[in-house]
Amino acid sequence: MVLLKCPVCGGDVQVDDNALPGEVVEHECGALLEVYMKDGKLALRVAEQIGEDWGE
């Protein structure tokens, strides 16, 4: 497990060693976080909320 920091509350977030960029994890503070690569290491950022696309 890799220990990362939540960008919302600063708390610790455990992520699997084999996590891939783009995976979404939920932290105990309720934030949805996206795994991404930063300087060759795993990091977390707030996941974008994607709304429904009705073809408009």
Question: pLDDT tens across 35-56, in order?
Answer: 999 999 999 999 987 667 677 6
pLDDT tens profile 13-39: 999 989 999 999 999 999 999 999 999
**Measured between alpha carbons, how far is 42 from 16 in angstroms, rounded to an integer?**
10
Q: What is the dihedral of CA 38, 3, 15, 8, to 10 degrees?
A: -70
* Domain residue extents for the chain: 2-46
Do strands 41-46 and 32-38 pair parallel, antiparallel, or not at all (unpaired)? antiparallel
Closest CA to 32 of 15, 16, 8: 8
CATH assignment, 2-46: 2.20.28
Q: Do 14 and 1 contact (CB within 8 A), yes or no?
A: yes
Strands 12-15, 2-5: pairing is antiparallel
